[in-house]
Amino acid sequence: MSMASFKNASIAVVGGAGFVGSNLVKLLLKEQPREVVVIDNLLSSDVANVPSDSRVKFCFASITSDAGLAALPQEVEYVFHLSCYHGNQSSIADPFADHENNTLTSLRLFDRLKDFGSLKKVVYAAAACAVAEKTYDAPSATTEDQPVSLVHDSPYSISKLIGELYGNYYHQRYDLPFVKARFSNVFGPGEILGAGRWRGTVHTVWRNVTPTFIWKSLHREALPLDNGGNASRDFIFVEDMARGLMACALRGEPGGIYNLATGRETSILELATWINEFTGNPTPPDLKPARDWDRSGKRFASTEKSRNELGFEAQFEVREGLRRTVEWTRAHRDLIARTMAAHAKQMQQAGAPLPAEYLPASA
Ligand SMILES: NC(=O)c1ccc[n+]([C@@H]2O[C@H](COP(=O)([O-])OP(=O)(O)OC[C@H]3O[C@@H](n4cnc5c(N)ncnc54)[C@H](O)[C@@H]3O)[C@@H](O)[C@H]2O)c1
């Protein structure tokens, strides 16, 4: 049996200008594909992330539009669906925009792909946060078959699950070779603060905890630790995540689901401590009390199935990943300051108040 590979393959990455998508595109290019088509409306990303390479074709469109769908190559073999309406707070601010860019996207894409005879695999970015139990006690590893609650904190979380449901449906009904990659928390180079359009709250500037902490830490600010930084996550370095997605495409069982994670818990306090160490930030973290509505909790994912069935294991320690991410942030200060400033302008134009902490201290 010949081993599947991306050599000479036609690949599409929907949401490929984004943080994870652009890292995936860069890694795919090393596998000698024929072409990598990136379809993205730059809602939460910057075009700077799309590599200039003759094999990369960038289509600036929503995958819900005819132009976006038409950009899918006739002979496409692998499709990675990474587009979403980023993230939880934005979806709460505008559930309809979330629906348009996080639910309809999956339906439109899968419905179109059911007619492509050339397809080998469609990999979907599913979210572990939509299934993990919310606990502050000692958590157990979340497995792929964890029961899913029908009660969710955000439209984002609902949309991520609906993507799984539609994919399962198209797999069952039309044999779409659909594979779900359940993401834990990804961090690493290429996550640009403020990238894209303002989506209703200041969270659209800050995105996730890791890039926010790194930026504040580089500016000698005190890192805010709710509940003393007691919450934990399974943080995976983006290059590992990209390799995991490629393993899902080459070796995932159609209809299958795989956690992509490290299987290890890192507390937010540890994360902050390591980041401050790498940036040399002398300002101690700002330890805040527990809030009674805090549901963030502790969690990590089981890696047993992806190790056994995909042969996938994360290679980077969180510390090493953070060191590289701090380096990348230092080297891209100007780009990040520019996207944050563009965001501030959009907020001001919309009449939204700018929190003092939003304005980056001079770098
Ligand atoms: N980063 C994480 O920790 C994490 C965790 C769980 C799941 N995920 C999932 O992984 C995927 C990638 O996440 P990310 O962190 O790279 O986010 P991102 O915001 O950087 O990437 C999402 C991309 O989708 C694009 N997009 C939005 N609407 C679109 C549309 N209608 N048509 C085409 N493109 C559209 C955005 O412009 C952006 O480039 C998402 O599906 C996300 O839900 C990420």
Query: pLDDT, tens digit, for every residue of 312-344?
Result: 999 999 999 999 999 999 999 999 999 999 999
Measure 86 CA to ligand 1 centroid, in angstroms. Answer: 6
In this predicted structure, what is the pLDDT of residue 238? 98
CB of 14 sitting under 6 A from ligand 1: yes
Those residues whose C-beta lies under 8 Å from the C-beta of residue 236, and which sit 6 or more positions away, are: 183, 184, 185, 186, 187, 244, 260, 261, 262, 314, 316
Beta-bridged to residue 347, according to DSSP, are none
Q: Which among 49, 82, 106, 210 is the best mutation to test ligand 1's pocket, defined by most ligand atoms within 8 Å of the CB?
A: 82
Most confident by average pLDDT, 165-169, 202-206, 294-298: 165-169
- At 118-153, the pLDDT tens digits run 999 999 999 988 887 777 777 889 999 999 999 999
| CA–CA dist 116, 77 (Å, integer) | 9
In this predicted structure, what is the pLDDT of residue 203? 85
CB of 248 sitting under 6 A from ligand 1: no
- At 14-55, the pLDDT tens digits run 999 999 999 999 999 999 999 999 999 999 999 999 999 999
CB of 45 sitting under 6 A from ligand 1: yes
In this predicted structure, what is the pLDDT of residue 138? 79
CB of 42 sitting under 6 A from ligand 1: yes
pLDDT average, residue stretch 213-231: 94
pLDDT score of 202 more than 90: no
| CA–CA dist 272, 238 (Å, integer) | 18
Are 125 and 259 in contact by the 8 Å Cβ rule? The answer is: no
CB of 86 sitting under 6 A from ligand 1: yes
In this predicted structure, what is the pLDDT of residue 303? 96
Tokens of 97: 């925009």
Tell me the domains of the chain and their CATH numbers. Answer: 10-191+235-264+294-318 (3.40.50.720)
CB of 154 sitting under 6 A from ligand 1: no
| CA–CA dist 64, 100 (Å, integer) | 8
Mean pLDDT of the chain: 94
In this predicted structure, what is the pLDDT of residue 362? 45
The angle that helices 238-251 and 19-29 make with each other, rounded to 10 degrees, is 60
Phi, psi values for residue 39, rounded to 5°:
-115, 115
Pairing label, strands 286-287, 235-237:
unpaired
* Of 197-201, 261-265, 280-284, 294-298, minimum mean pLDDT range: 294-298
pLDDT score of 1 more than 70: no
Whole-structure pTM value: 0.96
In this predicted structure, what is the pLDDT of residue 356? 67
Q: Which among 14, 79, 83 is the best mutation to test ligand 1's pocket, defined by most ligand atoms within 8 Å of the CB?
A: 83
The DSSP code for 301 is B
Q: Which among 13, 14, 19, 193 is the best mutation to test ligand 1's pocket, defined by most ligand atoms within 8 Å of the CB?
A: 19
- Mark residue 290 as left, alpha or beta (left: phi above 0; alpha: psi -120 to 50; beta: remaining): beta
Please provide the DSSP assignment of 10-34 as one string.
EEEEETTTSHHHHHHHHHHHTT--S
| CA–CA dist 7, 361 (Å, integer) | 46
CB of 19 sitting under 6 A from ligand 1: yes
